[in-house]
Chains A and B, each alone.
Chain A
């Protein structure tokens, strides 16, 4: 047992390397070929299948599963990637329990859906293991498109544009591409550096250049891109995080969960990553669960998620909630933070129970304190770097159904754009559809 397991404060090395490694293995391990055949055999090949409708990228799920069943997983992968070029990552991180698998007729009939996500992973892994890239570029069009952000939206947009023969330059603020696939998302959903491997695989299409360390306002401007390129796609995600707006929020060890996860994802040695003994996570979405579960897996003794509404309203799926509880995370509902405690360092977070009053959520006088030496906030992200001149709708870049913004030569997609859930798979769909719209505009 590691010596710092029960040490107070935010310290590294709560668990030894072997324990951490065991904790961070694949959440949904890959099927072996026999398992894949048995799982595929359960698909009924439904007509006009509900799972397809439930998929934001409209993958032909019955067809790809049948292709697995008939021993052609490569063809299955092509069926997936025709709709979703990041099908490998989506197979790992999609909340399938609220998308395709929730819609599966066997979920309704038996409470046991066809395991679509794992089957999708089987197909895409099979193709990618052969290092085959089944798409080729069309004849060059001579058109140039700038993309801001190398996340799921930007990459999906870039690939589709490159396929149509356009030249693409992606401007990426960080030193690495992948966006939230690389910097967000729990590590146990994307093991073995998958985000980078998928990025490298995607780039095999050719015609895409990524320039790192460049962001709007830091090296490039939207006006400049509009001058130098025939079209612009904005897919930079949400750069800001919401604050609790409480006194003491600037204390050490009061961190935003997005930053915590990013640091964790980039850490070479997870045992060197400092983590609290008693952690409070405020929020109710996937980020809150990812942060809570991972801190538990790093060796935190007590981890509590506190969400201001009731369990049914929690944005994280039932599956994610179960996962958190299974890993030993406590969940407290109907409570909102009202104070950060501690003279100097953080000692706890004070909460007030909430109630519905005239359709509004209000805090009551009933309060309690949860002892904590680390507070992670996961109460939403904001668009911090929207360029001037774009219409904004409820804090996001306003786009039409094709992803076009209020500027005729600028499109946007992913988390920074209005419409759709903030999911990898939604970002891929929006990037892909914007690329089709850009292509149609540039070639008419």
Chain B
């Protein structure tokens, strides 16, 4: 069976599945049971300054959206960083690391943007024996209003500055956790790198309101009639996170910097996808909050099976394998021509493909009086919408036209050569470049 042992910026853990800094890693009781359940590492719930404990709301902290069968698709929270005394957290972390030396234990930290604050607290936390630090520059609610969390993460200069302080204060790896609530994820990633950070982790949660109660006219979650934006996470955010991970993994300035992938990871496949796009490991929260710590067993067995099937000996064999295939639109092959194909034996005659194409696309599907649906190649632009709305898997597929065939829509012979927008005759820049 494949060896899942993974080393991420010098920190080795039995598998690439870490629990993200969040309520599941709030205390020794949880983390102990998480490690016993099979999690490879845990990023402790964010530690703050010593002093009066953090105060949380006493109403709902979470809001959610569900599928029809109450499948939790997205979760939103307005909980703050740890509300337990620093000293107790440190004692508990020390015991955890002592009892689970093979597991990764990372301290998430958030203190005010003052050099001494960071330089005081990091060495103190390091005494727990933890394997590294994660700087929480991502939390979008509550702490941001006090100049911490995403308030730092949204200003690249601050990221660079704090990362530098932290690297001066400790020899342990420093991971910068990035907020997605920015215009371009590359700016904070580059700043972390300039500051000397060993890695980045992303994404933190996304600003969100999950729903509005139309009886009380208040956003959810509602506390005494009012609501506020919270951090959105869970399966719904995965596509957003995948893109941000990929952007950092393929950007010339940040390429090669270790990335801990976070964002809606629920199954082994989600994890493998993040890792294929360059994440060295993954962090999970919502799946554990929805299904319990045991969910990691499926991630472990699934990733092992897939790696065995693929012949991968270790996670390093496939980390980043999909990165070379992420490109800019302008480099996509414009000579690659496909057409939708409907398998009439599989078709259940629901007509959704027809409605989608006729009403919202290119009128490339015809419908006969006895409900036979057929693609008209001379209209089909291969948009794939019919495939996506068809309820029967593999009923509609896209067929690639081989070079030499004629595209009935354009009347042109399909070319064998790769050709993209940069060299396309319609591109004024391409013409100018010649």
Asked if A47 is at the interface of the complex by the 8 Å CB criterion, the answer is: yes
4 nearest A-B pairs in the assembled complex, by CB-CB distance? A75-B301, A70-B267, A72-B302, A66-B298
Q: Identify A41's interface contact among B69, B294, B306, CB under 8 A.
A: B69
Q: Which residues of A contact B297 (CB under 8 A)?
A: 63
Asked if A67 is at the interface of the complex by the 8 Å CB criterion, the answer is: yes
> Would B291 and A67 count as touching, CB distance under 8 A?
no
18 contacts between A and B (CB under 8 A): A34-B392, A41-B69, A63-B294, A66-B295, A67-B298, A67-B301, A67-B302, A69-B267, A70-B267, A70-B269, A70-B298, A71-B302, A72-B268, A72-B298, A75-B298, A75-B301, A75-B302, A75-B304
In B278-336, which residues have CB < 8 Å from any A CB?
291-292, 294-295, 297-298, 301-302, 304-306
Q: How far is the CA of A45 from the CA of B294 in the complex (A)?
A: 9
> Would B298 and A42 count as touching, CB distance under 8 A?
no
Q: Which residues of B contact A79 (CB under 8 A)?
A: 301
Asked if B253 is at the interface of the complex by the 8 Å CB criterion, the answer is: no
> Would B292 and A47 count as touching, CB distance under 8 A?
yes
Q: Which residues of B contact A167 (CB under 8 A)?
A: none
Q: Identify B291's interface contact among A45, A72, A74, CB under 8 A.
A: A45
Q: Which residues of B contact A160 (CB under 8 A)?
A: none
> Would A42 and B301 count as touching, CB distance under 8 A?
no
Known: A41-B69, A62-B294. 20 other contacts (CB 8 A): A34-B392, A41-B71, A45-B294, A45-B295, A63-B294, A66-B295, A66-B298, A67-B298, A67-B301, A69-B267, A70-B267, A70-B268, A70-B269, A70-B298, A72-B298, A72-B305, A72-B306, A75-B298, A75-B301, A75-B304
Q: Which residues of B contact A66 (CB under 8 A)?
A: 295, 298
Q: How far is the CA of A67 from the CA of B294 in the complex (A)?
A: 12
Q: How far is the CA of A42 from the CA of B393 in the complex (A)?
A: 19
Of listed B69, B305, B306, B392, residue having the most chain A CB within 10 A? B305
Taking chain A's interface residues, is the majority helix, strand, or loop, or is none over half, making it mixed? helix
In A61-94, which residues have CB < 8 Å from any B CB?
62-63, 66-67, 69-72, 74-75, 78-79
> Would B305 and A75 count as touching, CB distance under 8 A?
yes
Question: How far does the Cβ of B63 sit from chain A's closest Cβ, in whole Å?
Answer: 21
Q: How far is the CA of A299 from the CA of B398 in the complex (A)?
A: 51
Of listed B69, B269, B301, B304, residue having the most chain A CB within 10 A? B301
Q: Which residues of B contact A41 (CB under 8 A)?
A: 69, 71
Count the A-B residue pairs with Cβ separation under 8 angstroms: how many?
A: 42
Q: How far is the CA of A360 from the CA of B294 in the complex (A)?
A: 50
Please give me the residue from chain B that is nearest to A74 by CB atom.
B305
Interface size class of A (residues with CB under 8 A): 10 to 19
Q: Identify B69's interface contact among A42, A70, A75, CB under 8 A.
A: A42
Q: How far is the CA of A74 from the CA of B268 in the complex (A)?
A: 14
In B62-82, which residues have CB < 8 Å from any A CB?
69, 71
> Would B294 and A70 count as touching, CB distance under 8 A?
no
Q: Which residues of A contact B269 (CB under 8 A)?
A: 70-71
Q: Which residues of A contact B268 (CB under 8 A)?
A: 70, 72
Q: Which residues of B contact A63 (CB under 8 A)?
A: 294, 297-298
Q: How far is the CA of A203 from the CA of B348 in the complex (A)?
A: 43
Q: Which residues of B contact A69 (CB under 8 A)?
A: 267
Q: How far is the CA of A62 from the CA of B298 in the complex (A)?
A: 10
In B243-297, which residues have CB < 8 Å from any A CB?
267-269, 291-292, 294-295, 297
Q: Which residues of B contact A47 (CB under 8 A)?
A: 292, 294
Q: Which residues of A contact B71 (CB under 8 A)?
A: 41
Of listed B69, B291, B298, residue having the most chain A CB within 10 A? B298
Q: How far is the CA of A79 from the CA of B306 in the complex (A)?
A: 16
Q: How far is the CA of A42 from the CA of B392 in the complex (A)?
A: 19
Q: How far is the CA of A37 from the CA of B291 in the complex (A)?
A: 18
Q: Which residues of B contact A62 (CB under 8 A)?
A: 294
Q: How far is the CA of A41 from the CA of B71 in the complex (A)?
A: 9
Question: How far does the Cβ of B141 sit from chain A's closest Cβ, in whole Å?
Answer: 29
Q: Which residues of B contact A34 (CB under 8 A)?
A: 392-393
Q: How far is the CA of A41 from the CA of B67 in the complex (A)?
A: 11
Q: Which residues of B contact A71 (CB under 8 A)?
A: 269, 302
Please give me the residue from chain A that is nearest to B294 by CB atom.
A63
Q: How far is the CA of A79 from the CA of B267 in the complex (A)?
A: 16
Q: How far is the CA of A175 from the CA of B382 in the complex (A)?
A: 62
Q: How far is the CA of A170 from the CA of B393 in the complex (A)?
A: 47
> Would B301 and A78 count as touching, CB distance under 8 A?
yes
Q: Which residues of A contact B301 (CB under 8 A)?
A: 67, 72, 75, 78-79
Of listed A41, A66, A78, residue having the most chain B CB within 10 A? A66
Q: How far is the CA of A45 from the CA of B268 in the complex (A)?
A: 16
Please give me the residue from chain A that is nearest to B300 by CB atom.
A75
Question: How far does the Cβ of A287 sit from chain B's closest Cβ, in whole Å?
Answer: 38
In A166-182, which residues have CB < 8 Å from any B CB?
none
